[in-house]
Amino acid sequence: MACIIRQLQVAGFDHNLSYLLTAGEDAVLVDPAGELDVIRDALPEKFNPKYILLTHGHPDHAEKTEQVKGFFPAPVLGHPNCGVRGVFPLIDGQTLPIGELGDFVEVLFTPGHSRDSVCYLVNHDQGILTGDTLFVSYVGYGRADALFDSLCRLKKLPGRTIVYPGHDYGATPTSTLEEEKKSNPYFSCTTEEEFTLRLKDLD
C-alpha cells in the first residue's frame, strides 16, 4: 500500500487544513476549503478525481465543494445529515478503495463536535483525518457526552496513527494518537465527568 497524504494549508476561516490523498493516479480531496489555488497547485499533472470527502457540513469545511468540482470533478461523500446538497451518504464502518494496490479509507462516524462529524482512517494505521473532532492539543467544541464517546473510539486505534486535523491549532501541524493521549488535556481525560468540566474551558 502506498497512499500519500498531503496536508494543504488553505487558510480559510481559521487556519483550515484541506487534504489531498493519492494512490497511483487516484486522488481524493478532503474538506476543500479556503484558497482553492493551494489545492489546484497541489494536484499532480495526471490524476483521477476519485472522491471529495467531507468531515462535516460546517461551511468552513464544505463551502468550496461546488467550486472545487470545476477542476476536481468527483462525487462528494459525507455523513447523511451533513446538509450539503448532492452528497452521497456514507455508512459508518464502510471502506472506500483508492488506487489499485489495496489502499483504502475507512469511515468512522464520530458525533460530538457536530452530529454529522466523520473521521477518515487511512490504511488501518497510516493516518486519521479528524476534521473538527480532534486537533493537535485540542478538540472541537461540541456535545460533551457524544464527543467523549467518539474520542474513546479514536483512542482504541493504533497509537502510531498520524493525526491530520481540520485546523492548524497546535504547536505542530500533525501529531499521533499516542502523542495526543499523552499531551492533549482533552483527549487524555479518562472519564466523561472530567472531560465535560474541561470542555467548558473551550466554550
Residues that bind Fe ion (CB under 5 A): 58, 132
- Is the sign of the CA dihedral 171, 44, 72, 162 positive or negative? negative
Which residue, 57 or 99, is less far from Fe ion as judged by CB?
57
Residue with cell 473551550: 202
Which residue, 87 or 98, is less far from Fe ion as judged by CB?
87
Shortest spacing between CB 59 and Fe ion, in angstroms: 9
Which residue, 12 or 127, is less far from Fe ion as judged by CB?
12
Provide CB contacts within 8 A for 76, sequence distance 6+: 51, 52, 53, 54, 65, 69, 84, 86, 87, 88
- Are residues 47 and 27 in contact, defined by beta-carbon separation less than 8 angstroms? yes
Q: What's the grid cell of residue 56?
A: 462535516
Residue type, 198: R
Shortest spacing between CB 90 and Fe ion, in angstroms: 17
Rounded CA separation 79/111 (Å): 10
Residue with cell 447523511: 80
Which residue, 3 or 120, is less far from Fe ion as judged by CB?
120
Which residue, 193 or 201, is less far from Fe ion as judged by CB?
201
Rounded CA separation 85/88 (Å): 9
Provide CB contacts within 8 A for 200, sequence distance 6+: none
Which residue, 26 or 168, is less far from Fe ion as judged by CB?
168
- Are residues 54 and 77 in contact, defined by beta-carbon separation less than 8 angstroms? yes
Shortest spacing between CB 78 and Fe ion, in angstroms: 13
Shortest spacing between CB 75 and Fe ion, in angstroms: 22
Shortest spacing between CB 44 and Fe ion, in angstroms: 29
Shortest spacing between CB 139 and Fe ion, in angstroms: 11
Rounded CA separation 44/184 (Å): 35
